[in-house]
Structure 1
Amino acid sequence: MGGVSPTGNGKSTLANVISGTNKFKESADSVSETRRIEVAEFEENITQDGSEKIRYRVIDTVGIGDTRLTPRAVLGTIQEAEEYLEKGLSQILFITNGRFTEEEKIAYKLLRQVIFDNEVVRYTTIIRTNFPEFDNEDACERDRRALKNENGELLDIINSARIIYVDNPPINTNNTRRNVVNKETREDSREILLTLLGTCRGNYRPENLAQMNERIKNYKTEKEKLEAELKEKDKAMKEQGEKLQGQIDNLNKEQDRKMKEISDNCDKKIKEAQDRADQQIRDAQNQGNLSEKLLEMIEKNRADAEERAREDKKIIEDRAKADMKEKEDGLRREMALQKEIDGLKRKEIEDKQKNT
């Protein structure tokens, strides 16, 4: 049989009570003392004369909620029990000391989706520890109903698994009388647990054990998933921003190219007007009829042609600038909208992280 639960729910104490030993290190606080897989074997008489015995093996796992270990490290430690899993388990004891917490829900998710498979429910017993009224069936039944009403997410296991109530108070306090009373309470709890084990039938050997290493390797916590999602979102935001900025930069380059082209065209027209004026002056000189009045007319035509070229340049430049500005403004609006949308998505992911 194996025991799993978040840190501080009394797995090691329960293992000692079932085995009738002190092989498992108990802890009174929420910090798990179990850092590796621990195993103890013991025998129990199944006949009064002791002629028939049954041999049990108890496996105590590391606390799934141990804050000193990452979830993947916890899974890696549980993975050490693979040799025992290959032989099969008669029962898995899922230990809780009250209402199911988020840690316990995560523990069950790991148990069912990563470590074992959906069949684990059939071989799971919920052990409700630290329940002083464990010998009062009415109190136990009230608590069973409360567990079902308050834990919709775990109804499948609560409805399918047995719920057993025990109380395992410490027996190493400074009060000798209390230790004696607590030891008697633990003996009563042990009788309940041994009776449970006596009714367990079958041998649970997960069919997907061969893939367990791969599942553990690929496992990610909700926090890790959110961090990966946030990282991917930041990467996409950066890429989108760089893409839009690249389009704006290309527009600016295109505008510079067009402005140069317009300026070069204007300079070409001005030069052509100057060349025509010079040619007209040379022709008139060769013909001997270059009068002052003709020179003035030629210069005026040249000046008018230059002015038209400059006016055309300004009109074309203004039109090109307006067109480029409209395109750039559109890209900047798209960039701002995308940034706002990405900001909202990022905040949503960050809010999920805070609640994880």
Structure 2
Amino acid sequence: MGDIPDRTVIFIGETGAGKSSCANALAGFERFEVSASSCSVTKDVQAVTVTLPWEGKKYTVKIVDTIGIGDADFSPEEVLSRLAVACHECREGINAVFLVIGMRFTKEQAEAFDILWQVLFGPQVVELTTVVRTRFEKFNDPTAVREDKAVLQRKTGAAKRILSHIGDRLLYVDNNKDKRKALKESGSIMLKYLIGLSCKNVFRPPIMEDVRKKISEHVEEQKRLAKEKGELRKQLQQAAEAQLGCPG
């Protein structure tokens, strides 16, 4: 491609959020299997490199689709291990991470974002992360987009947890595969955004061994916290039972 740089983008998000359909929209054809259930169709990392035209030039774009966070078929540790493969797939560098979120910001999505920068890639990747808001029917209406952004900025909970890091880096798309025109326009929105990024702003993920070590530490910490919560719950229950057994 001469002096035109490649772009590499990785799609990450909760199962059923629309990662694979967004990846298909960007690629321009159905390369990735799609599911809306609690079980992700994407069980392992899938990657494709496509040549896409934009304003008279051609760009090679590497698109990496990943297993959904929260896949009901796998334990959290197994999901993270498969996401570690995504790090290796992108070892030559990442230009953008698309965190795919549907119409609601959930606790699981916030946890997926935390895993992204705390466990898999490190804090540097936050600057390259953009939220892709899916199933937004008025995605090409500037007023509707502006109003939704204003609403999101006032939200608390998961939305605030994510947007406090992301800021205004949101893309709006309609990834309904039955709406071919909307799907094509959504792909163009994502491509335009990618091409507009500086080719010099590239993040190179940690080596696989380091990622697997972080995953192991994360899983052990989650087990420890779960054990502590269980013990605390048991103590509170025993205290409540003792209180009920005391004579008035």
TM range (shorter): 0.7 to 0.9
Partner of 1:18: 26
**Gapped runs of 5+ residues in structure 1?**
172-181, 235-341, 349-356
Identity %: 29
Give the distance between the partners of 2:89 and 2:106, measured in 1 at CA.
28
Show the counterpart of 1:215.
214
**Paired residues, number:** 227
User: How many angstroms apart in 2 are the aligned matches of 1:119 and 1:64?
Assistant: 21
**Residues of 1 paired with 2:106 and 2:188: CA distance?**
28
In the alignment, is the contact (CA less than 8 A) between 2:12 and 2:98 conserved in 1? yes
SS for the counterpart of 1:2 is strand
Taking the aligned partners of 2:31 and 2:83, their CA distance within structure 1 comes to 19
- Structure 2 partner of 1:67: 72
Q: Is 1:31 aligned with 2:39? A: yes
The answer to whether the 8 Å contact 2:129/2:166 transfers is no
Matched, 1:184 2:181: yes
In the TM superposition, what is the alpha-carbon distance from 1:22 to its structure 2 partner?
1.1
Task: Give the aligned CA root-mean-square deviation in angstroms.
Answer: 2.5
The correspondence for 1:56, drawn from 61, 66, 72, is 61
Distance 1:229 1:199, change over 3 A: same
Structure 1 ranges of 4+ moved more than 6 A:
231-234, 345-348
* 1:166 equivalent in structure 2: 173
Say which SS state the counterpart of residue 22 (structure 2) adopts.
helix
- Provide TM-score, normalisation by structure 2: 0.83
The higher-RCO structure (CA 8 Å, 6+ apart) is 2
DSSP-derived class of the 1:86 partner = coil
Cα distance change of structure 1 residues 199 and 209 upon mapping to structure 2, 3 Å threshold: farther
Greater fraction of residues in strand: 2
SS in structure 2 of the partner of residue 169 of structure 1: coil
5+ residue gaps, structure 2, are 1-8, 241-248
Query: Structure 2 matches for 1:207-356, cutoff 5 A?
Result: 211-220=210-219, 224-229=223-228, 343-344=235-236
TM-score computed with the length of structure 1 as normaliser: 0.59
- Cα drift, residue 39 of structure 1: 0.8
Note the C-alpha offset of 1:226: 3.5
Deviation at 1:136, TM superposition (A): 0.9
Taking the aligned partners of 2:147 and 2:54, their CA distance within structure 1 comes to 32
Q: Which residue of 2 aligns with 1:204?
A: 203
Judging by fraction of residues, say which structure has more helix: 1
Match in the other structure for 1:259: none
Q: Which residue of 2 aligns with 1:308?
A: none
**Residue 239 of structure 1: aligned partner:** none
Partner of 1:97 in structure 2? 102
Per-residue CA shift, 1:19-38, capped at 9, x if unaligned? 01211001243431111111
